[in-house]
Chain A
Amino acid sequence: MFGTAVSGLQQARHWRKEIKMPLVRIEKSKGLFQESGKGFLSKPLDTQAVVNNFEIDTSLGFNLPVSAADAGQTGVVLKDGTKNGQLALITNVGAEDFDFADDHFAAQPADATLVAGNSILCVWNSSAWSLTSQSLS
C-alpha cells in the first residue's frame, strides 16, 4: 500500500514535470483546465445554423460558432443569459452575413450585421446582452 502511494506521488511529479508551459483551456466536457502548451483557448461548441428570427442558444457555453445557410437572414437574437456577467463569444463561421433583431442589445448599434468571418463578444448585464465589440464613439 505504501508502495502504491509512493508510486502515485512519483506519477504526480512526473505529470507536473511534463506540463512545462501551461495552456489554459475551457471545454464543455471538462470546464477549465491546463495542459502543456501556451496561451488561452476555448474550444468552439457545435455550429448553430442561423435562419430568420433564430435564437442563438447561449446556455451551451462560451464559444459559440454560428452559420447562416442563406443570405439575408434577419431578426436573430441571443438567448437570455442566466447570470449577471456571463460572457458569450459569437463567431460567424459561415459565408453569409446575417442581421440581429432591432432593439436586441443593451445599446443597439445603428446596424447589427454580423459579417461572415467576424466575431462579437457580449456580456449579460442581468437584463440584456451588452456588446463589447464596438468602436467607442
Chain B
Amino acid sequence: MPLVEISNSKGLVQKTGEGLVAVPLVQELSNVLLTIDTSCFYTQVDPTGNRTVDLEAGQEAGQLLLITNVADAAEKITFKVADFTAGAVGISQGESVLCVWNGSKWSPTSQTLA
C-alpha cells in the first residue's frame, strides 16, 4: 500500500505505507525574521509573539502553498495585505491556510465565502 510523500528534498515519492504526506519546512518567525519562504509546498511557521509577516512571491501561477501556525502559545501571524488578493488574512495558533499564487498575489482558499 503506497504512501505518497511530497518534500523539497525528493519531490514526489512513494514508499511503503498509506496516505498522502506533505513534509513541512519549519520556519521560526521572530522580530528580525518576518518573511515566509514559500518555496516548499507545506510550511509550518512558529512565531514568537504576534507577528505581521510577508510572504515571498510565488514562482509561477498555480503554485500551491499550505501554511500552518504551529505556535505553542496563543500567537497569531497576520499576512500583509499587499501579499493577498482579498484583504488581510491571519492564522492563529493551530490554524492553517491553503493559498494559490495567481501570478501576482496569493489567493487564500481557507476563507468563508462572503
In the complex, A130 has a CB within 8 A of chain B? no
Q: Which residues of B contact A128 (CB under 8 A)?
A: none
Q: Which residues of A contact B112 (CB under 8 A)?
A: 109, 133-135
In terms of DSSP, what is the predominant structure of the interface of chain B?
Answer: loop
Interface residues on B, range: 20 to 34
- Tell me whether A134 and B113 are in contact in the complex, defined as CB-CB below 8 angstroms, given that A41-B63, A44-B62 are known contacts: yes
Can you list 28 A-B pairs with a CB-CB distance of less than 8 A?
Answer: A21-B8, A23-B11, A38-B8, A38-B39, A39-B38, A40-B63, A42-B62, A44-B62, A63-B62, A63-B100, A91-B102, A91-B107, A93-B102, A111-B113, A111-B114, A113-B113, A115-B113, A117-B85, A117-B105, A117-B107, A118-B108, A119-B109, A120-B113, A132-B110, A133-B112, A133-B113, A134-B113, A135-B111
In the complex, A12 has a CB within 8 A of chain B? no
Assembly CA distance A133 to B89 (angstroms): 14
A-B CB proximity, top 9 nearest = A22-B11, A117-B85, A40-B41, A38-B39, A117-B86, A119-B109, A113-B114, A133-B109, A119-B107
Interface residues of B (CB under 8 A from A): 6, 8-12, 22, 38-41, 59-65, 84-86, 98-100, 102, 105, 107-114
